[in-house]
Structure 1
Amino acid sequence: MRRTATLPLMLAALAALSPGASAGDDYATMLGYLTSSHLDGHALQNAQGSVALNLAAGDLNTQANLRAFASGPGAQAQIAAHQRLRDNQANAPFDAQASIGGQALAGAHGLISINQASGSMNAQLNAVTATLANQGIREATDDSLSAVVSASAEVQSRAQPRIPGEGTRSVSVAAGAMQGLRGVLQLNQTAGSGNATGNILSLSVSELPR
C-alpha cells in the first residue's frame, strides 16, 4: 500500500535513518507500506506575502501553521497550541521520504511556513506572533516569549514496529529549491514516526515614524 501526498507544480529537519533493504528484498518492499511527500516543479515560485502549507503522507500526522498580529498602543498577540494523539494504532512505514525539489519557492518573499511529513504520528507546528505597538522596541525575555507563544505536543510513544533491516527514512531540499527566497522561512520536514518539531518566532516593533 502506498500513501502519497504530492504538489507537482509548484528550520527544522528530522530523519530517523535505518539500514537499506538488500536487492533480494525489493519485491517485499514494494508490497510494504510506503509513504512519500514531495513538493517540486515550480510550486509557489515567486510567491509573495503570506504562505502556509501543510503536506503529509501517512497516518495520524498533526500539522498547524498559526499566526497572530496586533497593533495599537497596548497591542499584544498570543498563540496557544496543543497537539495530542492518544490510543491510536498505526503501522510505521517501511520507507518514508519527504523532499522539496525543482524550483519550488524559488524567488518567493514574505512569511513562508511549511510543514512536510512522511510517516505516522508526527506533530509539526509553525507559530508567528508580531506586535506593532507605540511603546517602542522592547527586549524580549524568555518568560515573555513563553507567554506569547504556548505550544506543546503529546505524541504516542509507540507504533507497530516495521520489519527489522528494511526501509529508509530520508528528508531533502534540492539545491535549486528556495533560491533567492527573501523574508521569513519556517520549515519542519520529517520522515519517520512519532517525531515532534516546531518553529516559533515572536516580533515586537515600534510604530513607524510619521
Structure 2
Amino acid sequence: MNRTMLIIAMFCSASTFAQSPVIDNANIDNSGAQYQGNVGVNQAAGDLQQQANARAIAIGQSASATTDIRQRLHTIVDPRIDARSSIQGDAFSHGNGVLGVNQSAGASNQQANALRISISAQPQSIDDSVLMQQNVTLLNNSDPTDSAPGYRQVATSDQAFTGSRGVIQLNQSAGVGNRMANTFSVRVAD
C-alpha cells in the first residue's frame, strides 16, 4: 500500500474514533394515572444519579415524625451530554394521596422528596435541616473553550397531574450537577 493511500485511509477513519455525545432520555408516558395512597417514583437516565422519596408519619402523645436524607456526590463528568426528561400524556392524573416523583437525565444529579406528618400534643419544629445534599461535580472537558455543552430539555404535558388531590412533589431535571429538594411538614396538635 502506498503512503498516499495510507494517509487517506487514516483521515477517512478519524471520524470513527471521535466520541459522540452521550444521549440520556428519561420518559414517563401515561403512567400512574388514578394512583391511590402513597406512591413514590424514581426514574433516572445517565450516570451517578441519587434520588429519594422519604415519608414519615407519627401519631401519639409525644409523636415526632422525622426524615433524614443525606446525599453526597464527588464526580468528574463530561458536560457534552444531551439530556431530556419528559412526563407525557395523562401521567399521574386523577390520583389521590401522596405522590413523589423524581425524574432526571444526565449526570451527577440529586433529587429528594421528604414528607413528615405528626399528630401529637407536643410542639415540633419544622425546618429543612434534616435534608442535606452535597454535590461536587467537576466538568471534564478537554475541548476548546468555545465548545458548547450538550442539549438539555425538560417537558411536562399539560394533562399530567390534572385532577389529582393530596400532596404532589415533583423534581424533574436534565443536565449535569443539579440539586433539587421538596419538603412538606405538617404538625397537628390535639
With the shorter chain as reference, the TM-score category is 0.7 to 0.9
In structure 1, stretches of 5+ residues that fail to align are 1-29
CA drift of 1:145 comes to 1.8
Query: Which residue number corresponds to residue 179 of structure 1?
Result: 162
Rg bigger for which structure?
2
Given the alignment, which residue of 130, 133, 147 partners 1:153?
133
Cα distance change of structure 1 residues 35 and 91 upon mapping to structure 2, 3 Å threshold:
same
Partner Cα distance (1:201, 1:162) in 2: 42
How much does 1:171 deviate?
0.7
- Other structure's SS at 1:105 match: coil
Could you tell me the percent identity over the aligned residues? 34
Alignment partner, residue 168 of structure 1 = 151
Q: 1:149 to 1:128 in 2, by over 3 A?
A: farther
Q: 1:40 aligns with which of 29, 33, 38?
A: 29
2:104 pairs with 1:124:
no
The two structures have a TM-score, normalised by structure 1, of 0.74
Do the aligned partners of residues 166 and 79 (structure 1) sit closer, same or farther apart at CA in structure 2, a change above 3 Å counting?
A: closer
In structure 2, how many angstroms separate the alpha carbons of the residues matched to 1:155 and 1:167? Answer: 20
* Matching residue within 166, 180, 190 for 1:197: 180
Q: CA deviation at 1:166?
A: 5.6
The separation in 1 between residues aligned to 2:160 and 2:181, in whole angstroms, is 21
Instruction: Report the Cα distance in structure 2 between the residues aligned to 1:185 and 1:198, rounded to whole angstroms.
Output: 13
2:56 alignment partner, one of 68, 74, 78:
68
Q: What count of residue pairs does the alignment treat as equivalent?
A: 169
CA distance in 2, matches of 1:201, 1:71: 17
* 1:102 equivalenced with 2:82 (yes/no): no
Would the aligned equivalents of 1:149 and 1:200 in 2 still touch at CA under 8 Å? no
User: TM-score normalised to the size of structure 2?
Assistant: 0.81
Moved more, 171-180 or 89-98: 89-98
Conservation of the 8 A alpha-carbon contact between 1:60 and 1:122: yes
Residues 130-185 of structure 1, C-alpha deviation per residue, up to 9 Å, x if partnerless? 001245xx6x7xxx223x75111111231323962363111111011111111110
* Residue aligned with 2:101, SS: strand
Q: Which amino acid aligns with 1:56?
A: A
- Partner secondary structure for residue 126 of structure 2: helix
> Which is strand-richer, 1 or 2?
2
Change (3 A) 1:162 1:75: farther
Post-superposition shift, 1:206?
3.5
3-state SS of 1:175 partner: coil
| C-alpha contact (below 8 Å) 2:58/2:64 kept by paired residues | yes
